[in-house]
Every structure is written in structure tokens, then in C-alpha cells.
Amino acid sequence: MDNFSPALSGADGLPSDALKTTPETHPVTNTTITLEKTPQEHLPEQTADAISAEFSETAAAAEQPPTAVPSPPPSANANFGQTANRPPLPNYTAFPPRAGANMNGGSPQPAYHYPPQYAPYAQYAAPAPNYIGSANGYPVFYRRSPQDIAREDINKAANSGGALTIAIFVSMIVVAIIIVIVGFVAGIVVETPTMGDDPYMGFTQMGFYLYEGLTSLLSILIPTFIVMTAARKKHKLTLEELVPFDKIGGKKLAAIVFAGMGICMIAQMMSTLLSINFSLFGFDVDDAVSMTYGTGTVDIIMNSICTALIPALAEEFAYRGAVLGILKKYDTDLAIIGSAFLFGMLHGNLAQIPFAFVVGLVLGYVRVKTNSMLPNILIHFGNNFYAVIVTTLSQTVSDSVSTMIDCAVMISLMVAAFFGIYCLSKHHSDFFKLDGDRTVLTTKEKYKAFFTSGTVIASTIILCIETVAMVKLI
């Protein structure tokens, strides 16, 4: 198009009076423009022919019906007829409008052509996730910040954990009532179940252990299975992410279990001191859960299975599996602390809540660092089995002997914990380094998102009421 340029004035020996100003009408846009045009008689013959050919082609194209261009889906229209409510979507640059494009309607109409990569609008085939409605017949979008998305994700994950805790609490009551009713019919309940001097609470011996085992198994695992199934779809998690069992070396596993058991013993001592302090003010927070067990061989074996092994398996799948697994997708330390908080509150009495919370922190940390449920189950079972042994000893030997054995076991476990921690720090130093945060939120924001979720608030209120109701006056 240089033949129309004023820069040709006086160039190539053309006389200046050979230039003249001539108004021209564009054959496509039908607009009038004024250009300094060089008369064809002063140009070379091939240049004049080229100009004539160009105008002829343009005029012929204007007479042809325009080729229809597929209208883009709503997400691609955001840059046409922009308004304050419709910011441009990322990764989209509107091609300069050509003749025939209707910019007032918010959507490009059939025009002469767009570049091939824009014509099909293939990259906008997926529906925009931020669609919130329409205005004047056209879609309206909004753009959420990463912080808003992170808050919503953590809130949803916390709701899953809180809902599971409420479901377990309710299931324990419902399952216990059903088992008692069935027990009366089957004859395994000989009198109204009570917590007192009767080691079997009104059940027969085997009936009592069935009651203990089935209550823990059904009331925890059924809600956990439901939550896990929902989480796999809602949070896009695999079963391996919720309940991992990565391989761990034997020496490392032993060191982790001994270290965990030792820390649990320290937590047990703290819980005992707390109970003593409450008793000084006239509150009995320990007697509410104290009970006697049978001391025979069968009793010890069944006790170990029903009150040590089954609860360890069920609670680990619930809180280090479902709850921690869901939260871990969004933030690691929140997953550890949040699951420990709900695990502690589930125990429902002032003597065990602090202890269970500390144990939950230990088990959660081990679960994150090993990506395996096995060490958690072993530590949890060992802690429960220790309680079974202590309770059995208190009923078979004198108080002084029972206390001595109890102290010896606790000291031995704490010494073993020291060596376990030493071995881990020497041979597996990365074990004590927790991965950084996975969220864009500050610490305050992410914990606020967790503790302000509806089901976490509801479960906390319910379990606090239960905890207060279990306190007795001395």
C-alpha cells in the first residue's frame, strides 16, 4: 500500500503537481477517506494493474455473503462489550474487531474473517466455573481470589471432620441402645446395664465384650466409611491418600513406635496431674470413666481385643485416615492440629481430652511423616494395651505394688522413647522437619476457616455439654 503514501511526493522524479487529493469510499466499511493519491498515468504499468486488481478483489469480497464464524461460548464473550461486572478472563486477547462485528451486543457477529485459531473458540468450550448469573441477557462472571478459594476449601474439609465427629457421637448412643435391646432378646444381658462394681455392666462375660467391640467397630467405622466415600468425590482424593500404608523399615518403625509410646506416657502423666488438680477443687473428672474389668486370662485377651485393638483401628481410620487425610490436601499443620482437636473432644471428659489431644498430635505427625497408618495403629494399640494392663494390675495386686509396676513401665517406655528419638535424629534427620504450608492463607486465617465451620462448632458444643455432664462433685 506504499503507492498511496504521501511520502512518494516528489520521489522517483515524479513532478509535485502530479499528486492530487482525492476522496475515496472504502468498499467494505463504506466510509470515506481522503488520501494523497498518485495518478495512475504517472506510475509504472504493473503498479497500476496491481492497484486495480486489489480494489477489484476487495469489492468482490464485499458482495459475497460473509462466512459465518461460530459464536463463542459465554466465557469468550467477556472481552466483547466489557462492563465492570464482566472482567476479561485470563489467557484471552480479543482479536481486533473486523468489519461486520457487532460490538454492542456483547458477542461478535459473523464477520469477514478471524484468525483460524480464534474462529472455533475451542479453548473456551469448558463452562466457566465463576458464572454467577446474567445481566441484560448476557452472562456475568466474577473472579475469586486464591484466598477465597483456600478459605472455602478448608471450611469444607473442616465440615467433613466435624460431621464425622457428630456422626460417631450419635452412632455410639444408637448402636449401644440397639445392642442392649438385642442383648435382652438374646439373653446376653441379665440386668439393666450400669457402670459400677459389676465388671460386665449387667452383661454376661461374652456379651460384655461383644458390646464393647461392636460399639467401637460399628459406631466409628460406618460413619468413617461414608465420609471417606464422599471425600473421594468431593475432594478428589484416592483411597491411598486417605488410608496410606507406605512401606517402613523395621528399625525405623520400632524407633517411631517407642518414641510415640514414650510421649504418650508423658501425656498420661500430665492427664493424671490435671485430674488431681481438679479434685483439689472438689471436681471428680476421672471417676466418671473408671470401671472394673475381669481379671481372668479370657478377660485379659478379650479386653485387649475389644478395648485396645478395635478402638485403635477404628479411631485411626477415622481421625488419622479420613479427617487428617482430607485436611492434609489443603494444609499440613492444620491437618495435624485439627484432627487432634476433634479426636480429643470425642473422648468427652476432662481427664482424657488433654491427653487425647497430645496423643492425636503425635499420631498425626507420625502419619504425615511416614505416610503410613501402621505406626499410628501400633502406637495407639500400645497405649490402650498399657491402660488394660494397669487396670488389671490395680484389681489383682496391692496399690503399692501396682503403683511400682506402673512407674517402672512408664520409665522404661520413656527411656525407650529417648533412644527412639536419638536413632531417628541420627539416621532419619528429615523426620523432624515438617513440610511448609500448602495454603496462601496466614496462620490466623486458616485456623479461623477451620474453627468457624458449622459442624466443627456444632460438634464442639455437643461434646462440651457431654464433658460438663460427666463431671461429678466430690
Average pLDDT over residues 391-412: 85
Note the pLDDT of residue 205. 75
Residue type at position 275: S
Distance CA 309, CA 303 (A): 9
Confidence of residue 40 (pLDDT cuts 50, 70, 90): very low
Distance CA 140, CA 130 (A): 9
Place of cell 455473503: 65
Does 174 score more than 90 pLDDT? yes
Query: For residue 45, what are the contacts with CB-CB under 8 A and spacing of at least 6?
Result: none
| For the ranges 83-92, 300-309, 359-368, the one whose mean pLDDT is highest | 359-368
Are residues 354 and 344 in contact, defined by beta-carbon separation less than 8 angstroms? Answer: yes
What stretches of 13-130 adopt beta strand conformation (E)? Answer: 20-25, 32-37
Distances (CA, A) of 12 to 4, 51, 304, 429: 14, 18, 107, 82
Are residues 366 and 260 in contact, defined by beta-carbon separation less than 8 angstroms? Answer: yes
Query: For residue 182, what are the contacts with CB-CB under 8 A and spacing of at least 6?
Result: none
Does 97 score more than 60 pLDDT? no
Q: What grid cell was written down for 211?
A: 458390646
Confidence of residue 132 (pLDDT cuts 50, 70, 90): low
To the nearest 10°, the Cα dihedral for 440, 445, 450, 453? -110
Entry pTM: 0.69
Residue type at position 207: G
Kindly state the percentage of the chain with pLDDT values over 90.
36
* DSSP H or E run through 473: strand 472-473
Residues in the chain: 474
Confidence of residue 468 (pLDDT cuts 50, 70, 90): confident
Average pLDDT over residues 293-308: 83
Q: What grid cell was written down for 1?
A: 500500500
Kindly state the percentage of the chain with pLDDT values over 70.
64
**DSSP symbol at 372:** B
Note the pLDDT of residue 66. 53
Does 463 score more than 80 pLDDT? yes
**DSSP symbol at 29:** T
Distance CA 134, CA 128 (A): 13
Distances (CA, A) of 189 to 193, 289, 432, 452: 8, 21, 50, 43
Say which range, 105-109, 404-408, 458-462, has the weakest mean pLDDT: 105-109
> Which carries the bigger pLDDT value, residue 31 or residue 125?
31
The distance between the two most distant Cα atoms of the chain, rounded to a whole number of Å, is: 128
Q: What grid cell was written down for 433?
A: 522437619
Note the pLDDT of residue 105. 42
User: pLDDT (tens digit, 9 = 90+) per residue, 216-241?
Assistant: 899 999 999 999 999 999 999 999 99
Does 454 score more than 70 pLDDT? yes
Mean pLDDT, the chain, whole residue set? 76
Average pLDDT over residues 68-72: 49
Does 199 score more than 90 pLDDT? no
* DSSP H or E run through 158: helix 146-186
Distance CA 330, CA 157 (A): 8
Query: For residue 199, what are the contacts with CB-CB under 8 A and spacing of at least 6?
Result: 208, 291, 292, 293, 294, 299
Backbone angles phi, psi at 317, to 5 degrees: -65, -35
**DSSP symbol at 128:** P
